[in-house]
Amino acid sequence: MLEMRGITKRYPGVLANDGIDLQVREGEIHALLGENGAGKSTLMNILYGLAVPDAGEILIDGKSVEIASPHDAIQRGISMVHQHFMLVPVLSVAENILLGEEPMAGPVFVDRAASHRRIRELGDRFGWQIDPDKPVGSLSVGWQQRVEILKALYRNARLLVLDEPTAVLTPQETTEIFGVLRKLRTEGYAIIFISHKLYEVLEVADTITVIRRGKVVGSRNPKETNEEDLAELMVGREVELTVDRGESKPEQPMLSVANLTVRDDRGNEVVHDVSFEVRAGEIFGIAGVAGNGQDELVEAITGLRHASSGTVRLGDRDVTHASPRELHRLGLAFVPGDRHRFGMVLSFPVTDNLVLNDYYHAPYASGLRRNDEAIAAYAKEAIEKYDVRTPSADVPAGTLSGGNQQKVVVAREFEGELKALVLDQPTRGLDVGSIEFIHRQAIARRDTGVATLLVSAELDEVLEMSDRIGVMFRGRLVAVLDGRTADKEDVGLLMATGGREGGVQPQTLEEAS
């Protein structure tokens, strides 16, 4: 019923979709598999009228259509369950479902009786006891998702797009949602199911299309494939080693994390009982699909988030509850993953960004007075040493290219007496030259005896850089592997499945070191 042809979408610096073709039939669950950032969401935003493609066309029932807004999409029977629910928390279940398509009693008022009846009827189809008057904000995430699905069905959708629907669900809720999807399939709905979880896709889909770096790299029938095959398609086979990381000479443990448990902003436990040690002079890489608790782990280690239990030690000091400034003073440097949010102040000149966390002490300040000469001298030196391409040290950092912005952050963090270094997605979205430069600097720092923790969703980067590799899955560290012998496919499978099948034996810390 749906066909997308040659969809191409370019964002500044990224080719998000590169000539994607996709066909979906009625009564089919079509899985769209790919890593985060592979271009799945962009494709679906185009289908739903939230983004305009640069090239390509969309056909529904064989007719070319233009979808310029969600309204158009809804009119054509396409509904989307977004990863971040599009629900208004303070409105009731009924109000959320009706919004935009209200049954009316007269010209002004919403027909509450009719709406309640219809919502109950819809719920009954799946055996859901739903209270239409409950505010959506008071529902659990699983129930909110059901409201989203009811919202789509209420709008007489024929094609349902679910963007990572299981990301926020418990295993039981996931099983239940799969039941709902199967029921919808038998009723003739077409379903696009976006995921990066292999076993889920294998369990529920009729057809699997794999996308990597904005391109369709293959289509599979779940009956004729397995997790290894899909993992390889999803992450790619080729590992391009561009940096010779040499031999590491690990010494005593420097950064030790023990039984760390962390909650996210909504209070969900997203890091469970994680323990590992990073030794002086080694790079410990953490691989994992984005959103498996890495962000919260890093924030807890670097003092930006409060750990609910467990300890973090730097050398022989307990720094579990240390502030970012204390940690910095003790020799823990941190290149944050979201450099625009945490790493720098875009409206400030490069100089100020280079001393963002050292501005308050000598030689950059004496008492209340900033010592601008010292800052400028240091900036000149750092810009040269870290090859920051900027017209001058005084231009706003926001005017620099992404690679040069990140070099500013790296210059700031890598300098000085360091014990440990936390690199969170240090090369995300950068050009090849900058990536290589930053990798070389990190290895040089390692070789001066710094314990380096590298967290990245780019598997290639972790494989290329790490002396040891830990894999995170659903908030747990499920395996620790030796970086010299780790196989990309094995790690990919661990990332995608958490080693559920037992295909790879997770090594213990002792074995891997």
Partner 1 sequence: MSERTGFAGWWDRARAVAMLPLISIVLALVFGAVLLIVSSPLINGWDPLLPFTAYRALAEGAFGSVNGLVNTLVNASPLVLAGLAVGIGFKGGLFNIGAQGQFLAGALCATIVAIALNSASPLVAIPLSILAGMVGGLAWGFIPGALKAFTGAHEVVTTIMLNFVAIQLVSWVISGALRGTGPAVTFARTDPIVAASLPIVVGRSGHLGLLLAALAVPIAWWLLFRSTTGFEIRTVGANPDAARYAGMHPRWITILTMSLCGLLAGLAGATEVLGEVRYMPASYGTTVGFDAIAVALLGRAHPVGILFAGLLFGAMQAGAGLMQSQAEVPVQMVGVLQAVILFFLAAEIIVRRTLRIRTAGTGVSSELQTVSRSYGEQASR
Partner 2 sequence: MEAIYGIPIIGLIVQFVVYFVTELPGFSGTIVAAATPIALGSLCGFMNERSGVVNIGIEGMMLTAAFVAWWAASIAAQLLPNIDFGLLGITLPLLIGLLAAIAAAMLVSAVHAWLSISVRADQIISGTIINIFAVGITGYLNLLISQQSPPSAGRFEEWRLPDFISDLPVIGWLFDALLGVGPIGLTMLISVVVLQVLLFRSRWGLRTRAVGEHPKAAETVGIDVIRLRYRNVILGGAFAGLAGAYLTIEFGSAFQGEMTAGRGFIALAALIFGRWTPIGAFGAALLFTASTGLERSIRFAAPEGALGEFLTGIPLQFYSALPYLITIIVLAGVVGRSIAPAAVGRPYERESKAA
Per CB under 8 A, residues contacting partner 2 are: 45, 48-52, 68-71, 74-75, 80, 82, 86-91, 95-96, 98-102, 104, 108-110, 112, 151, 155
Copy the structure tokens of residue 195: 């995921």
Residue 25: which of partner 2, partner 1, none does it interact with, CB under 5 to 8 A by kind? none
14, 99, 243, 304: which one binds partner 1 (CB under 8 A): 304
Return the range that interacts with partner 1 (CB under 8 A); candidates 182-190, 266-274, 361-369, 490-498: 361-369
**Any contact of residue 392 with partner 1 (CB under 8 A)?**
yes
Smallest separation (angstroms) from partner 1 to the CB of 377: 16
347 binds, among partner 1, partner 2, none (CB under 5 to 8 A by kind): partner 1
Q: Does 63 bind partner 1 (CB under 8 A)?
A: no
Q: Is 395 in the site for partner 1 (CB under 8 A)?
A: yes
**CA 63 to chain CA centroid, nearest Å:** 35
Partner in contact with 444, chosen from partner 2, partner 1, none, beta carbon below 5 to 8 Å by kind: none
Q: Where are the alpha helices (DSSP H) in 331-391?
A: 350-354, 372-385
Stretch of 199-207, 284-292, 360-368, 473-481 contacting partner 1, by CB under 8 A: 360-368
Cis bond upstream, residue 135 (ω within 30): no
Q: How far is the CB of 347 from partner 1 (least distance, A)?
A: 5
Please say whether the beta carbons of 285 and 469 come within 8 A.
yes
Return the DSSP state at 91.
S
Binds 199: which of partner 2, partner 1, none (CB < 5-8 Å by kind): none
59 binds, options partner 2, partner 1, none, Cβ within 5 to 8 A by partner type: none
Q: Which residues contact 359 (CB under 8 A, 6 or more apart)?
A: 352, 365, 370, 375
Question: How many other CB atoms are there within 10 angstroms of residue 118's CB atom?
Answer: 18
**Residue 329 C-beta: closest distance to partner 1, Å:** 8
Question: Under a CB-based contact definition with an 8 Å cutoff, are residues 329 and 417 in contact?
Answer: no
- Tell me: does residue 347 bind partner 1 (CB under 8 A): yes
**CB of 4: closest distance to partner 2 in angstroms?**
17
Alpha-carbon 431 to chain mean position: 20
Instruction: Confirm if 210 and 233 have CB atoms less than 8 A apart.
Output: yes
Give the nearest distance from C-beta 439 to partner 1 in angstroms: 23
In angstroms and rounded to an integer, the radius of gyration of the C-alpha atoms of the chain is 25
Among partner 1, partner 2, none, the one that 95 touches (CB under a kind-dependent 5 to 8 A) is: partner 2
Task: Pick between residue 9 and residue 30 the one whose CB is nearest to partner 2.
Answer: 9
Spatial contact of 13 and 190, defined as CB atoms under 8 Å apart: no
SS3 460: helix
Strands 451-456 and 420-424: what pairing?
A: parallel
Indicate which of partner 1, partner 2, none lies near residue 304 (CB less than 5 to 8 Å, by partner kind): partner 1
Cis peptide before 103 (omega within 30 of 0): no
Identify which of residues 170 and 347 has a Cβ nearer to partner 1 in the complex. Answer: 347
Q: Does 345 bind partner 1 (CB under 8 A)?
A: yes
User: Which does residue 306 bind out of partner 2, partner 1, none, counting CB within 5 to 8 angstroms by kind?
Assistant: none
Query: Of these partners, partner 1, partner 2, none, which one is at the site of residue 344 (CB under 5 to 8 Å by kind)?
Result: partner 1
Q: Measured from the CB of residue 418, what is the shortest distance to partner 1 in angstroms?
A: 16
Among positions 311, 357, 401, 507, the unique one binding partner 1 when judged by CB under 8 A? 357
Contact 18, 214 (CB under 8 A): yes
Nearer to partner 2, 99 or 365 (CB): 99
- Residue 63: C-alpha distances to residues 66, 68, 76, 345 (Å): 10, 16, 11, 49
Residue 92 DSSP code: B
Q: Does 291 participate in binding partner 1 (rule CB under 8 A)? A: no
> Which C-beta is closer to partner 1: that of 143 or that of 348?
348
Cα 115 to Cα 109: distance, rounded to the nearest angstrom: 12
- DSSP structure class, residue 54: S
For the bound state, the minimum distance from the C-beta of residue 325 to partner 1, rounded and expressed in Å, comes to 3
Does 483 interact with partner 1 (rule: CB under 8 A)? no
C-beta closer to partner 2: residue 88 or 377: 88
Question: Which residue stretch of 72-80, 155-163, 318-326, 505-513 sits at the interface with partner 1 (rule: CB under 8 A)?
Answer: 318-326
Maximum alpha-carbon separation in the chain: 79
Site size for partner 1, by CB under 8 A?
Answer: 30
Nearer to partner 1, 397 or 454 (CB): 397
Specify the residue, 197 or 428, whose C-beta has the smaller distance to partner 1.
Answer: 428
DSSP string spanning 125-179? HTT----TTSBGGGS-HHHHHHHHHHHHHHTT-SEEEEESTTTT--HHHHHHHHH
- The answer to whether the CB of 447 falls within 8 A of the CB of 246 is yes
Residues 6+ away with beta carbon under 8 Å from 370: 359, 364
The closest of 95, 266, 303, 427 to 312, measured between CA atoms, is: 303
Strands 14-24 and 159-163, how do they pair? unpaired
Q: Which residues bind partner 1 (CB under 8 A)?
A: 304, 323-326, 328, 334, 336, 341-348, 352, 356-357, 359-360, 365, 368-370, 372, 391-392, 395, 399
